[in-house]
Structure 1
Amino acid sequence: MRLAAALAVCLLPLLAGGARAQSASKPPVTVTVYRCTDAAGKVSLQDAPCAKGQAQQAREMLRPVDAPALPAMPSKPSSAAPVPASPSESRTVYLAPPRPMYECVTPEGKRYTSDDGRGNPRWVPLWTLGYPAVRPRSMLGDNIGQPDKVMHPPRRDINWPVATGGGTWIRDDCTMLPPREACARLRDRRSELRTRFFNAQEKERDALRAEERDINERLDNDCGGR
């Protein structure tokens, strides 16, 4: 048993070249190993018969076979594969519809801007509008005590307004401005506020800041930026 083990260990370097030539798919074959002992007692193993004058022992052994080749590993890419970019977050921005702006004109011809177009509704007596004033009759007659200042209506059917102490609602004439003009008016107003800010008192500055914030928000929403 010891001799067989020693022969197997010593034979491996000798048979390495032949073993590599064997295909993994072929069945194993046997080889003859010669143990030679010369006159001095030196022992050697070889795959050829011993020289003349040497003691020889021969043994049959299986030729070793290479293990099956491992599958080729895929080569690593030179650079890391690009990581797919994560989809960007979708953001939904809701904008309020643009607020209209109106230009209004007072009866005196003064112009101003308004957000509602109501024209500053106000209640005024009829006589302020130029309607004739007629004092109502009383149980004691017309304007007792001051007959010379009585204003009598004409002796015919009255089909036009007569002021008898009443009044009416009036409004200024208003016209909606185009969006481009409204944005220009907002920027002009903001410039005016900034000019007034330097000479304003602290309480007035708070009001100017609040109005400018409102204008900036409106410019961002209605005019696409400041």
Structure 2
Amino acid sequence: MKQHLLLPLSFALACALSSAPALADQVKVYRCQGADGAVALRDTPCKPGQRQEVIEMTRPTDPPASPPGATAPAPTSAAPAPPPPREVVVYRTPPRPMYECTTEEGETYTSDNGDGNPRLVPLWSLGYRDRHSRGGLVPIGNTWIHDSCHQLPQAEVCARLRDRRYEIQRAYHSALQSERHALDKEQRGLDARLDNDCGAD
């Protein structure tokens, strides 16, 4: 008779022991709210006067260890390489030509075009004759003439621009205030042209 009683007791004890770990995985969290509305989470009951709410949660556990010899997960594909930087090309304005012109009197000057300074002169000054007159040269009208010009090499252009900039700097200290404004404006134009046409220096 005693043997029949021991068997059910042993079975009940075994069932209780098997369920013990499951109960140990449950934890209680106390959500406490004070009179000012502030909320705090505790692992012990709330203080007197606080509103208490009990939340049962499952205790987090670490993932099971990988068995020996297990292969590591394949690495994720690397992010695509960034595109190569774009090449920025800066185009300069083509160098402006400079011409040296010579007047009829033999004087020279520089110009940005090869037209030469036009001037109106009487035709008789060029040697034209009136066929109907008895006396040789007579004025029979006027015409426009231009000075002869030729284009300078770019190296000569840059040299003359630098010479003019040096002349401006020398004249600036002795110039009147009204003259300095014009010199400043001319030098700014020279500096910009030297930077574009001659690479500055």
Do they superpose with TM above 0.5? yes
The one-letter code of the counterpart of 1:196 is A
Q: Does 1:124 align with 2:124?
A: no
Deviation for aligned residue 1:74: 8.1
Instruction: Return closer, same or farther for 1:87/1:185 CA change in 2, 3 Å cut-off.
Output: same
The one-letter code of the counterpart of 1:123 is L
Partner in structure 2 of residue 32 of structure 1: none
Partner in structure 1 of residue 190 of structure 2: 215
Instruction: Decide which of 181, 191, 206 is 2:156's aligned counterpart.
Output: 181
Q: Does 1:204 align with 2:201?
A: no
Q: Does 1:153 align with 2:135?
A: yes
Partner in structure 1 of residue 14 of structure 2: 4
Partner in structure 2 of residue 145 of structure 1: none
Deviation for aligned residue 1:3: 2.5
Q: Which has the higher contact order (CA 8 A, sep 6+)?
A: 1
The one-letter code of the counterpart of 1:202 is Q
Q: Does 1:91 align with 2:88?
A: yes
Instruction: Return closer, same or farther for 1:200/1:128 CA change in 2, 3 Å cut-off.
Output: farther
CA contact (8 A) 2:120 2:143 kept: yes
The one-letter code of the counterpart of 2:135 is P
Deviation for aligned residue 1:98: 1.4
Instruction: Return closer, same or farther for 1:185/1:165 CA change in 2, 3 Å cut-off.
Output: same
After TM superposition, list the pairs within 5 Å mapping 1:35-184 onto structure 2.
69=67, 72=72, 87-129=84-126, 131=127, 152-153=134-135, 162-184=137-159
Aligned-partner Cα distance in 2 for 1:224–1:199:
30
The one-letter code of the counterpart of 2:118 is P
Deviation for aligned residue 1:206: 1.5
Aligned-partner Cα distance in 2 for 1:212–1:180:
19
Aligned-partner Cα distance in 2 for 1:109–1:91:
49
Partner in structure 2 of residue 53 of structure 1: none
Unaligned runs of 5+ residues in structure 1 are 10-65, 76-80, 138-151, 155-161
Q: Give secondary structure in 1 for the equivalent of 2:91.
A: coil
Deviation for aligned residue 1:225: 2.6
Q: Give secondary structure in 2 for the equivalent of 1:224.
A: coil
Instruction: Return closer, same or farther for 1:68/1:92 CA change in 2, 3 Å cut-off.
Output: closer
Q: Give secondary structure in 2 for the equivalent of 1:113.
A: strand
Higher helix share: 2
Aligned-partner Cα distance in 2 for 1:84–1:219:
42
* Pair member with larger Rg: 1
Aligned-partner Cα distance in 2 for 1:67–1:198:
87
Q: Deviations over 1:131-174 (max 9, x none)?
A: 3887x87xxxxxxxxxxxxxx426xxxxxxx4324222222221
RMSD: 3.7
What percentage of aligned pairs have identical amino acids? 48
Pairs aligned (count):
143
Q: Give secondary structure in 1 for the equivalent of 2:114.
A: coil
Deviation for aligned residue 1:178: 0.5
Deviation for aligned residue 1:90: 3.7
The one-letter code of the counterpart of 2:105 is E
